[in-house]
Amino acid sequence: MQPDNYEFIDEMLKEERQQTILNEVELHNRILLTDIAEALDVSIDTVRRDVKELDAENKLRKVHGGAISLGFTMNSTRNHNVYKLEEKNKIAQKALSLLRPGSVIFIDGGTTCSELARLIPQNLSLTCFTHSLPVASELLGKPNITVIIIGGEVSSESQTTIGANAIHNLSEIKVDYSFIGTGYVDSFYGLTEFDWDIVQVKKAVIKCSKKTVLLSISEKLNSQHRYKTCDINAINTMITELDPNDQLLNSFRNHDIRIL
Amino acid sequence: MQPDNYEFIDEMLKEERQQTILNEVELHNRILLTDIAEALDVSIDTVRRDVKELDAENKLRKVHGGAISLGFTMNSTRNHNVYKLEEKNKIAQKALSLLRPGSVIFIDGGTTCSELARLIPQNLSLTCFTHSLPVASELLGKPNITVIIIGGEVSSESQTTIGANAIHNLSEIKVDYSFIGTGYVDSFYGLTEFDWDIVQVKKAVIKCSKKTVLLSISEKLNSQHRYKTCDINAINTMITELDPNDQLLNSFRNHDIRIL
DNA sequence: GGCTTTCTTGCCTATATTTGCACGATTCTA
DNA sequence: TAGAATCGTGCAAATATAGGCAAGAAAGCC
């Protein structure tokens, strides 16, 4: 989120401040307390108190570290993660450029993918498969998007469907692009995860996609964990918040990957 | 706010002063009492009294430290569905009494069913099927509940999955209880809906349930619409916010329905 | 005009609200 | 599980508020 330039007023009334916060939440769907505190030049405690009051009045929902709009979507989904939101926003912006009218795509779970879902423009018509509840919620408001949820048992941790049923359902579809996230990525070890069930689903996703696009913040580069989703070669396009020429991406250039 | 240069009048009448204050509020959307007091060269107490009177006359809204224009806050009242929330809560409370540890249940979409999902206690272990995203979200926080989403195309209006895929998925399961809502219910015409697709899904839900529980606010009693979900006899238990002996429920007593 | 009554205004004091800070508890991420 | 971020609470300083009081102005009455 780019902290907007608020009109700088020496003394802001509490009501004004709360109204400003509400406007920001409605505009961006979510805010960070720290951003608001800085933008409005008040202490974080004050913002925290304001948000708490607004929450009590049912004007928004307070979450750890920020607040989210309680608009039509029930993105009241538990803990909205606001970590590295700016980077994720940048990645999602780049990913948008791959979308064409009429495309059939899959969107994975995770905050970066949710951000992509959120940014998809109203006037773009798409068919979107997803196994992520937050992603489905983000997409629901957009009139030109057909949303299809992959059924199955819901993992409360990832808020996605997992398990045999989900994997089976994935085996019966074919999409043009899948946009997936990962816990860890390394040019040698490929994509890895902490959780076994998640790996199985991601494998199924990759299998049902003509092209696979990896969305990952640079922080995850050159890290690995226990269970392997796929080789790095299985990825067709890789998007980070970095400039494509950044040296941090050097080790990925030998592979047949498009880097955005 | 730059204190405007008011025409300096040695003795300003109370009426004039209040009009000036009103003008300022309309112009800037907000004022600080201290600014006004200084600008008009009267004591802060006088301004405070003026603003208090104007507030009582509904000309502006007094807040701590200042006043804001009435138009300023109007924009934020998006209707959030809190319609008849108390009744729905009462219904959900009654429905809770049907739940037993280990039960396998289905929960329909709609605000009454969401309320039921919200109220399910943390320590009750259940397997819950649902085709409603909001219901799934409510259940996700509860550690002892296995949540399974029925896959399919998502209807943005109802925030539930519908269509052939959802119906097929429902045909492959069997649950002890299903808790369903309805658009309209009448002892003669049965359960009816405005939307054809919704009806098809509800039929599939009823078919996969050993027992079907209808949750409906009394407002919907004795109303009907275009498409029929099922006869009233298909319902095993009916729950409204009314006392089970209420005369409004008389026409349902001839049928083999348990009324809670 | 003289008198009282009412209204307005400013000042004072006790109380309430707002705000920022400190510190331990809690939650989140890795 | 460790480290960091965030949260909640209590506290103190600054500011705002409510209500009482009194001086002065305005209005009504004789």
pLDDT along chain A (260 residues), means of 10: 42 86 77 88 92 84 83 41 69 89 92 86 88 87 87 86 92 94 89 89 94 90 87 92 87 85
Adjacent-strand bridge partners of B66: B32, B63
A254 backbone dihedrals φ, ψ, rounded to 5°: -70, -25
Half-sphere CA count of B27, side-chain side, radius 13 A: 11
**A33 Cβ contacts chain D strand, under 7 Å:** yes
**B45 Cβ contacts chain D strand, under 7 Å:** yes
Task: Give residue-wise pLDDT tens across range B223-244.
Answer: 888 889 999 999 999 999 988 8
Residue A172 burial by Cβ neighbours in a 10 Å radius (0-12, 13-18, 19+):
exposed
Read off the tokens for B221: 């009693």
Per-residue pLDDT at B162: 92
Task: Give, as one character, the DSSP assignment of residue A31.
Answer: E
The number of angstroms, rounded, from the C-alpha of B195 to the middle of its chain's C-alpha atoms is 20
CB pairs under 8 A between A and B: 103
Q: Is residue A199 a contact partner of residue A160, using CB atoms and an 8 Å limit? A: no
Nucleotides of D under 7 A from a protein CB: 5-10, 15-20, 26
Task: Give residue-wise pLDDT tens across range A215-241.
Answer: 998 888 888 888 899 999 999 999 988
Higher pLDDT, B241 or B6: B241
The number of angstroms, rounded, from the C-alpha of A104 to the middle of its chain's C-alpha atoms is 19
State the pLDDT confidence band at B46, using cuts at 50, 70 and 90.
very high
Q: Is residue B161 a contact partner of residue B153, using CB atoms and an 8 Å limit? A: yes
Distance CA B193, CA B173 (A): 24
Angle between helices A14-28 and A44-56 (to 10 degrees): 80
Contact A151 B150 (CB under 8 A): yes
Cβ neighbours for B2, distance < 8 A, ≥ 6 positions apart? none
The amino acid that residue A8 corresponds to is F
Is B37 an 8 Å CB contact of chain A? Answer: no
Q: Is residue A133 a contact partner of residue A77, using CB atoms and an 8 Å limit? A: yes
Q: What b/e string do you get for B73-83 counting C-beta neighbours within 10 Å, with b at 16 or more? A: beeeeeeeeee
Task: Give residue-wise pLDDT tens across range A81-115.
Answer: 555 667 788 888 889 999 999 999 999 988 888 88
Q: Is residue A198 a contact partner of residue A224, using CB atoms and an 8 Å limit? A: no
- Taken in order of first residue, the domains within chain A and their CATH numbers are 14-68 (1.10.10.10), 85-259 (3.40.50.1360)
Residues with CB under 7 A from strand C: A 14, 17, 42-43, 45-46, 49-50, 64, 79, 81, 83, 219; B 12-14, 17, 42-43, 45-46, 49-50, 64
Contact B159 A140 (CB under 8 A): yes
Across all strands, nucleotide nearest A34 (CA–C1'): D6
Per-residue pLDDT at B8: 45
Q: How far apart are the first and last CA of chain B?
A: 61
Query: What's the whole-number average pLDDT of chain B?
Result: 85
